[in-house]
């Protein structure tokens, strides 16, 4: 029998130590999740027992769905679709310049890098629902406040993802462009963007799919779209129409997801 070498023992010890650290981390995360569920009341069986009959009654009132007003939902659905497209387009226009400032390899100065990161974090921290309420108060009801809320909130997320994609670009093309005397703008357009355009397009499509769903929620606070019809049916206690609107939204989400998948397949 061949005796294990000291190097072999050291490798095994390091692997065991790494395994113990990973197990401890998993247990800590699991414990945190259990505590969070307990604080949220997830383990309160009495509340579930009291709520299930009411939930069953609600579902009973939602069946069968009432599609009698389907023609009145066409314009709100078109508004919701337009909000998602316009919000995505505006978010991309604002996100790309900020992403270039928020990426270490394209930021012209560390101060601008930290400032851009701070702006993205701030926009990301304010929910689009709160922004929707603010913009409804500022510019009135309709699709415009929804577009502004979707765009500004998404700048924080899309800009962050764009910046991370830019930071992962290969450094050699950037160095070659700088060595050839290219300006900062030329380095971006000729060495950075050609590498990351597929990733940026993928992020944009995913965000558009999200925007369609989020624009439905914004309609609840007066930003127009099918969400406004949904909250109106809820207030009138017409749960059969609520279920019909939800099914309509589901069908539209499936269509939007299919379009997004088709676009991603074309960009590969």
Going from the first residue of the chain to its last (268 residues), give the mean pLDDT of each consecutive group of 10, the final group possibly shorter. Answer: 60 76 89 90 80 79 84 86 89 90 84 90 87 84 84 89 85 76 74 81 86 82 78 84 88 84 76
The predicted pLDDT at position 109 comes to: 84
pLDDT at site 66: 84
CATH of domain 70-266: 1.10.3720.10
DSSP states of the chain? -PPPPHHHHHHHHHHHHHHHHHHHHHHHHHHHHHHHHHHTTTT-HHHHHHHHHHHHHHHHHH-S---TTGGGGHHHHHHHHHHHHHHHHHHHHHHHHHHHHHSTTT-SSHHHHHHHHHHHHHHHHS-HHHHHHHHHHHH-SSHHHHHHHHHHHHHHHHHHHHHHHHHTS-HHHHHHHHHTT--HHHHIIIIIHHHHHHHHHHHHHHHHHHHHHHHHHHGGGT--SHHHHHHHHHHTT-HHHHHHHHHHHHHHHHHHHHHHHHHHHHH-
Closest CA to 229 of 156, 191, 217: 217
pTM of the model: 0.75
Q: Supply the pLDDT for residue 264.
A: 76
Residue for token pair 């314009």: 75
Q: Is the separation of the CB atoms in 76 and 134 below 8 Å?
A: no
| 56, two tokens | 């069953």
**What confidence score (pLDDT) does residue 31 get?**
93
Nearest one of 152, 168, 159, 184 to 98, comparing CA atoms:
159
| Residue listed under structure tokens 């010890």 | 13
The 10s digit of each residue's pLDDT in 176-205 is 777 777 777 777 777 777 888 888 888 888
Domain ranges of the chain: 6-61, 70-266
Q: Which two tokens stand for residue 139?
A: 């510019």
At 268 the pLDDT is 65
């Amino acid at each position: 029998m061949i005796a294990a070498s000291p190097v072999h023992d050291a490798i095994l010890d390091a692997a065991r130590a790494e395994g113990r650290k990973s197990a401890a981390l998993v247990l800590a995360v699991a414990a945190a999740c259990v505590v969070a569920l307990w604080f949220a009341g997830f383990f309160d069986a009495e509340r579930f027992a009291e709520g299930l009959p009411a939930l069953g009654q609600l579902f009973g009132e939602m069946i069968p769905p009432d599609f009698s007003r389907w023609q009145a939902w066409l314009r709100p659905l078109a508004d919701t679709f337009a909000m998602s497209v316009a919000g995505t387009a505006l978010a991309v226009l604002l996100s790309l310049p900020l992403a270039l400032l928020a990426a270490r390899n394209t930021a012209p100065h560390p101060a601008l890098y930290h400032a851009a990161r701070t702006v993205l974090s701030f926009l990301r921290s304010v929910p689009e629902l709160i922004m929707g309420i603010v913009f409804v108060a500022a510019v009135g009801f309709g699709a415009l406040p929804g577009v502004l809320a979707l765009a500004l909130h998404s700048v924080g997320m899309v800009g962050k993802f764009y910046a991370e994609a830019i930071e992962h670009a290969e450094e050699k093309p950037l160095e070659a462009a700088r060595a050839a005397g290219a300006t900062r703008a030329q380095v971006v357009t000729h060495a950075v963007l050609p590498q990351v355009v597929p990733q940026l397009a993928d992020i944009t499509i995913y965000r558009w799919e999200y925007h369609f769903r989020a624009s439905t929620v914004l309609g609840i606070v007066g930003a127009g779209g099918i969400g406004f019809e949904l909250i109106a049916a809820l207030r009138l206690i017409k749960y059969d129409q609520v279920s019909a609107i939800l099914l309509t939204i589901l069908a539209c989400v499936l269509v939007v997801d299919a379009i997004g998948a088709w676009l991603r397949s074309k960009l590969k």
